[in-house]
């Protein structure tokens, strides 16, 4: 009798200890600079994305998918493959937008609204804390294993269009980006990181499918 009690007491103690250790591990909260440091360790990367946009006034959500890639310090490309081929490619202060066979280049800092949105993604991917603080009020929640970053725009003109950006990630990878517009529309992007090298193959395969569909 006494041995069983002692054994269950020991087990309980061990269980509590295990629980306590587990909690301790996940209770290591992050702040912005630590998160950015973590993200900055990855100098480049590619990912596949699927995006769903919920717009008031439309009967169904709009979906699109494609590829994302970035390279430190200031390069970022979003290439939409379905349903229409489009791309947004940013390098330094210049953004090149292409749609339906037409492309235009702009200076980012001449159109602060675009600059802020680009920085929300590019700044996070490259771990640029100062840029994020310049355009947004950032709030970090979670720990290194699973974190969320909430960005609220500072510039009033942008705040009138965009209410909030919420980015979720695991360790040094982004997993989702959710944008909430001021008028209630929402856009949710799920990101699936690709190992380096597969991105090019995936791009050409999808591009071929996309052009075939478009014709």
**H-assigned helices in 27-179:** 32-40, 112-126, 129-135, 156-159
Q: For residue 86, state whether it binds other proteins (rule: CB under 8 A).
A: yes
Could you tell me the CA-to-CA distances from 129 to 18, 41, 145, 194 in Å, in that order? 36, 13, 19, 24
Smallest distance, other proteins to C-beta of residue 197, A:
27
Handedness of CA 181, 187, 188, 193 (dihedral sign): negative
Smallest distance, other proteins to C-beta of residue 56, A:
9
What does the per-residue mask of binding to other proteins show for 160-179, with x meaning CB under 8 A? xxx----------------x
In the complex with other proteins, which residue's Cβ is closer, 101 or 197? 101
Smallest distance, other proteins to C-beta of residue 115, A:
9
Interactions with other proteins, residue window 6-65 (CB under 8 A)? 53-55, 57-62, 64
Q: Which run of H or of E encompasses 18?
A: helix 2-26
Q: What span, in angstroms and rounded, lies between the C-alpha atoms of 35 and 171?
A: 9
Q: For residue 185, state whether it binds other proteins (rule: CB under 8 A).
A: yes
Which of 117, 119, 87 lies closest to 105 in space, CA to CA?
A: 87
Q: For residue 142, state whether it binds other proteins (rule: CB under 8 A).
A: no
Q: For residue 213, state whether it binds other proteins (rule: CB under 8 A).
A: no
In the complex with other proteins, which residue's Cβ is closer, 164 or 194? 164
Q: What span, in angstroms and rounded, lies between the C-alpha atoms of 117 and 167?
A: 12
Which of 23, 24, 100, 195 binds other proteins (CB under 8 A)? It is 100
Interactions with other proteins, residue window 54-83 (CB under 8 A)? 54-55, 57-62, 64, 80, 83
Smallest distance, other proteins to C-beta of residue 88, A:
10
Q: What span, in angstroms and rounded, lies between the C-alpha atoms of 109 and 125?
A: 19
In the complex with other proteins, which residue's Cβ is closer, 18 or 61? 61
Q: What span, in angstroms and rounded, lies between the C-alpha atoms of 19 and 201?
A: 45
Q: What span, in angstroms and rounded, lies between the C-alpha atoms of 78 and 48?
A: 10
Residue ranges binding other proteins (CB under 8 A): 53-55, 57-62, 64, 80, 83-84, 86, 99-107, 109-113, 117, 155, 157-158, 160-162, 179, 181-183, 185-187
């Amino acid at each position: 009798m006494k041995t069983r009690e002692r054994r269950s007491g020991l087990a309980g103690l061990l269980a509590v200890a295990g629980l306590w250790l587990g909690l301790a591990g996940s209770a290591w909260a992050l702040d912005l600079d630590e998160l950015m440091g973590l993200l900055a360790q990855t100098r480049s990367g590619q990912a596949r994305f699927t995006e769903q946009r919920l717009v008031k006034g439309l009967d169904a959500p709009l979906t699109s998918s494609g590829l994302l890639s970035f390279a430190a310090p200031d390069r970022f490309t979003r290439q939409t493959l379905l349903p229409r081929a489009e791309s947004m490619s940013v390098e330094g202060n210049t953004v090149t937008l292409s749609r339906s066979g037409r492309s235009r280049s702009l200076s980012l800092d001449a159109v602060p609204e675009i600059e802020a949105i680009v920085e929300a993604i590019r700044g996070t991917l490259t771990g640029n804390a100062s840029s994020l603080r310049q355009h947004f009020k950032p709030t970090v929640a979670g720990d290194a294993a699973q974190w969320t970053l909430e960005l609220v725009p500072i510039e009033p003109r942008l705040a009138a269009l965009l209410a909030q950006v919420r980015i979720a990630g695991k360790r040094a990878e982004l997993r989702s980006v959710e944008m909430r517009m001021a008028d209630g529309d929402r856009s949710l992007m799920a990101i699936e990181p690709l190992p380096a090298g597969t991105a090019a193959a995936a791009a050409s395969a999808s591009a071929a499918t996309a052009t075939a569909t478009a014709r």
